[in-house]
Amino acid sequence: MKFQIEEVTVYFPYDNIYPEQYTYMVELKRALDAKGHCLLEMPTGTGKTIALLSLITSYALAKTESPIKLIYCTRTVHEMEKTLAELKFLHNYQVKHLGAAAKMLAIGLSSRKNLCVNPTVSSAENRDSVDAACRKLTASWVRSMAAENPNQPTCEFYENYDRAAGGAVLPAGVYTLEDLRAFGKEKGWCPYFLARHMVQFANVVVYSYQYLLDPKVAGIISKEMQKESVVVFDEAHNIDNVCIEALSVSVRRQTLEGAIRNISRIENEIDRFKDIDAGRLRAEYNRLVEGLALRGDLSASDAWLANPALPDDILRQAVPGNIRRAEHFLHVLRRLVQYLKVKLDTDKVEKESPVSFVASINSDAGIDQKALKFCYDRLHSLLMTLEITDTDEFLHIQTICDFATLVGTYARGFSIIIEPFDERMPLIPDPVLQLCCHDASLAIKPVFDRFQSVVITSGTLSPIDLYPRLLNFHPVVSRSFKMSLTRDCICPMVLTRGSDQLPVSTKFDMRSDPGVVRNYGKLLVEMVSIVPDGIVCFFVSYSYMDGIINSWNESGILKDIMQHKLVFIETQDVVETTLALDNYRRACDCGRGAVFFSVARGKVAEGIDFDRHYGRLVIMFGVPFQYTESKILRARLEYLRDTFQIKEGDFLTFDALIDVMNIKLTDRNLNQRQAAQCVGRVIRSKADYGMMIFADKRYSRHDKRSKLPGWILSHLRDANLNLSTDMALHIAREFLRKMAQPYEKTGSTTGRKTLLSQEDVEKLGNNGAQEMLY
């Protein structure tokens, strides 16, 4: 359909639209008009992504005089693929209705690991080895060597791409990673470098958060993005965590040992160079004297991870004299590693501020703050000079230098915490020195400053007023939308008792009770026999899941479950989990039906959708908890209190990391974000339906339950608050029967329209949207 929002003609690839989507677009347009940032919350299942993409691309089409670029950030690569699929659908529609004028270039960008088509390189084990294998073939010095020596292997895809030079362009279209690879293979061009090159010309770029938030990556990928860009952070409820992680480094014993090996290897290289090409080291020294850390014209294939500090905080000064000479720099590194080693060798927890830490390095190891700050640049320059390509071998020393640079750059917003062992496993010594960032606003500040509009959106952003404080920005629009449902298509239940009427819980004193384990098992056995297609189960932790599955296996419960559905399980191996998920979907698609066992904090809970028949029922076994005594968490809370006057209680309710009231009693607490994530992905559209069972007696208490997101609570009827297995079974049967009935999709029977046709939207446009809807 095609409709007007003020002066912008919006091309929306469906015949109907939800009223929420319409108002969402109206608000978004206001933010774009005001060239400001905005914060929009809208529940899952309302087609947020397509609304966002439609409005922004239509906006760009309408304002041809000042073209805007869309930078769309997703948390994961598979979310990126989903977004690109929706964009493709939209683009096809727009081209069909507008012709060539609507053509645009949209690309997804990822690492070499996901884009490389050179079989010798892409077969490498992990990301870092792929990066290194690529550098071995494409680094500038390797290529100049190959010019003289034909036996020197190079990458034909990169060479072809380089030869095509300006001619290597992507034609308009929407490119997923697979499309990029296919295009690269067909043309013989390297898709990775092609995509990186095309980023500056593309109308839409989709990549993960880090490419904008992590200075190490943003420094190479996102340097040249224009100011007239709209940046979208989708599923942004965890954005503060991504921000603080981007600026945090931890040092462990393995790191230090690896770093020592790296230093010796560098030393050998220096000696070798002294013998064969001493001039090169001298040239580097002279360059550093002139104040240039790196040659200005670094070729793209040489680029390494960038400086870990934020661009504004990097000093544009000459590298200090005491680390200019390669040998001197190595001495400094050695002393630093030695100092950290001593620090790590402690048997009690220590917490320090960066200022005092730097001061003690200065007094104990004789390394001043400025030298620390330049560690990253100096190391980078040295590795380039030494023409080192197997960069994956040097990650340890890089970690140490990143740490030094960060600790030398930031005096506030960070702390250094040394822990001799994980407090949950005090018998296993595993000392770690962590430089952790507490201030999420640091990493995101350059993004807010640089780009015209930043849109932060998610299904759950409550309380919505906390985000501007956490991230320190001023949104021009901050709105939270409710979902209007055509029918009661979600059915949450709280199950407190098993089939024998005894309470069930994962509370510490009950979790290993065989009665509880059996009751949980019986619940699932009953449910698999009545619920069609897919069922997803979440457990509070891997170890709990592992234990319960093993005991179900022993007692034959698992066999009963398998009578009805196939069983797939999330494991700690990502590849295996991915395959299990893929098979799970196949089993749901072909009608065999399956159960997926997953973990509340696991990767699956974080980003995989169980919509439509992939999740007709979600069972949350127990209350997900987090270890709340963590030193880092405590330090962060302290910092938030002191700097932003965010009260501990506020943040914790918001983050729902801990339930302050009950901290003494249980130590284990409901995490709103976690629980919401697990169950919040059952609904894809208003035509979809699904049930959720919260199986723990603690959910019947108001204080626990109230931490669930509002859209779930609003569907939780009082009658469903305290169920036993047989009652839940009855309700599930009734619900499924009800959902199977035909219904009026537009919702006109309930009084408020939940689906708008072209006609309705036009009316809205004339009468002003607000009065009509609210």
Which CB atom, from 157 or from 625, has the smaller least distance to other proteins? 625
d(CA 63, CA 8): 8
Under the binding rule (CB under 8 A), the answer on residue 580 touching other proteins is yes
Strands 16-17, 566-569: pairing kind:
unpaired
Under the binding rule (CB under 8 A), the answer on residue 236 touching other proteins is no
- In this chain, which of 328, 603, 641, 715 binds other proteins, going by CB under 8 A? 603
Gap between the terminal Cα atoms of the chain: 23
CA distances, 212 to each of 72, 103, 454 (Å) = 10, 26, 12
- Size of the residue set binding other proteins (CB under 8 A): 123
Considering only CA atoms, which of 335, 318, 453 is closest in space to residue 31?
453
Which CB atom, from 102 or from 587, has the smaller least distance to other proteins? 587
Residue 664: Cβ within 10 Å count = 7
Strands 453-458, 617-621: pairing kind:
unpaired
Which CB atom, from 81 or from 350, has the smaller least distance to other proteins? 81
DSSP β-bridge partners for residue 455: 38, 232
Binders in 619-638 for other proteins, by CB under 8 A: 626-630, 632-633
Binders in 164-203 for other proteins, by CB under 8 A: 176-178
d(CA 252, CA 429): 11
Binders in 47-106 for other proteins, by CB under 8 A: 47, 50, 76-78, 81-82, 85-86, 88-89
Which CB atom, from 449 or from 576, has the smaller least distance to other proteins? 576
Under the binding rule (CB under 8 A), the answer on residue 246 touching other proteins is yes
Binders in 526-545 for other proteins, by CB under 8 A: 541-543
Under the binding rule (CB under 8 A), the answer on residue 249 touching other proteins is yes
Closest distance of CB 133 from other proteins, Å = 13
Under the binding rule (CB under 8 A), the answer on residue 129 touching other proteins is no
d(CA 537, CA 586): 18
- In this chain, which of 20, 27, 41, 128 binds other proteins, going by CB under 8 A? 128
DSSP character at residue 406: H
* Per-residue tokens: 239: 């954005």
Under the binding rule (CB under 8 A), the answer on residue 770 touching other proteins is no
Which CB atom, from 479 or from 565, has the smaller least distance to other proteins? 565
Under the binding rule (CB under 8 A), the answer on residue 587 touching other proteins is yes
d(CA 146, CA 154): 7
- In this chain, which of 461, 594, 692, 728 binds other proteins, going by CB under 8 A? 594
For 773, list phi and psi in degrees, rounded to 5: -95, -25
For 386, list phi and psi in degrees, rounded to 5: -80, 0
Strand blocks (E) in 19-172: 38-41, 69-74, 105-108
Closest distance of CB 295 from other proteins, Å = 24
Under the binding rule (CB under 8 A), the answer on residue 664 touching other proteins is no
Closest distance of CB 509 from other proteins, Å = 21
User: Mask 6-25, x = binds other proteins (CB under 8 A)?
Assistant: --------xxxxx-------
- In this chain, which of 203, 452, 577, 598 binds other proteins, going by CB under 8 A? 577
Considering only CA atoms, which of 81, 7, 93, 3 is closest in space to residue 49?
81
Strand, helix or coil for residue 664? coil
Under the binding rule (CB under 8 A), the answer on residue 505 touching other proteins is no
d(CA 520, CA 497): 9
Under the binding rule (CB under 8 A), the answer on residue 343 touching other proteins is no
Which CB atom, from 444 or from 723, has the smaller least distance to other proteins? 444
Binders in 412-451 for other proteins, by CB under 8 A: 419, 422, 424-425, 432, 434, 436
* Per-residue tokens: 118: 């050179």
Under the binding rule (CB under 8 A), the answer on residue 753 touching other proteins is yes
Under the binding rule (CB under 8 A), the answer on residue 210 touching other proteins is yes
Under the binding rule (CB under 8 A), the answer on residue 678 touching other proteins is no
* Per-residue tokens: 332: 């400094």
Considering only CA atoms, which of 732, 730, 731, 723 is closest in space to residue 498?
723
d(CA 179, CA 368): 50
Stretch that binds other proteins, among 396-404, 519-527, 694-702, 706-714 (CB under 8 A): 396-404
